[in-house]
Amino acid sequence: EAGVTQSPTHLIKTRGQQATLRCSPISGHTSVYWYQQALGLGLQFLLWYDEGEERNRGNFPPRFSGRQFPNYSSELNVNALELEDSALYLCASQGPSSYEQYFGPGTRLTVT
Amino acid sequence: AQKVTQAQTEISVVEKEDVTLDCVYETRDTTYYLFWYKQPPSGELVFLIRRNSFDEQNEISGRYSWNFQKSTSSFNFTITASQVVDSAVYFCALSEGRNTGNQFYFGTGTSLTVIP
């Protein structure tokens, strides 16, 4: 069974640009979560999508947004990039009747 | 307030030693779920275990064991006879379930280094 996949692996952007990160969940999983792991700050919850809708949002500004597609894959968009957005962005998926989340390898975003 | 506290930032042990990683959580819910994840240098978080609040049985899986104590709000993780491959950052997490947004609260992680 394929795990959670994320693309791209690395992304380098300039301050003020937009970044788009993608995530494909494990087959059969309907929920997708996004986390930001900045250096030394641990994992910070960004967004939760379930059945195509945003269900919960962490304490991040509106320039962090996303969506979930009918095939349950998801996209995270970060607008007006700032230097402090540089981090590892982790996507996790969860099955409809399970409690644990399974993580992808992450996308390392660098903003210069 | 921090819902999950991992007071140990870094731990170093010599191979074959036992090591315990501490996790203390805070919640007012009667139903909740606790997790441990391992993050090796590659970066991908690996799920290790889930514990439900109504199940206080301790669990052993090979060299890994977990001690869940509701009385002290702790969910500690012990690695017996540590190996170099155990070197990683370990995260403890709490979820209060889907009805409360299904948000995972992660601790700040404990970086374990096993010295050969």
Closest A-chain CA to B97: A99
The one-character DSSP state at A70 is: T
Alpha-carbon A53 to chain mean position: 14
Q: Which residues of B touch A31 (CB under 8 A)?
A: 102
**Rounded distance between C-alpha atoms, residue B88 and residue B94, angstroms:** 20
Q: What is the pLDDT of residue A24?
A: 98
**Rounded distance between C-alpha atoms, residue B106 and residue B116, angstroms:** 29
Asked if A106 contacts A37 with a C-beta cutoff of 8 angstroms, the reply is: yes
Please tell me the least confidently modeled range out of A60-64, A94-98, B61-65.
A94-98
In this predicted model, which residue has the larger pLDDT, A17 or A2?
Answer: A17
Residue B1 has pLDDT above 90, yes or no: no
A55–chain B Cβ distance below 8 A for any pair:
yes
A100 to B50: CB separation less than 8 angstroms, yes or no:
yes
Looking at chain A, how many residues does it have?
A: 112
Q: Which of B37, B43, B102 sits opposite A106 (nearest CB)?
A: B43
Residue A1 has pLDDT above 70, yes or no: no
Confidence grade of residue B101 (pLDDT, cut at 50, 70, 90)? low
pLDDT by residue (tens digit) across A18-72?
999 999 999 999 999 999 999 877 899 999 999 999 998 999 999 999 999 999 9
pLDDT by residue (tens digit) across B31-42?
899 999 999 988
Which among B26, B111, B40, B1 has a CA at the least distance from the CA of A40? B111
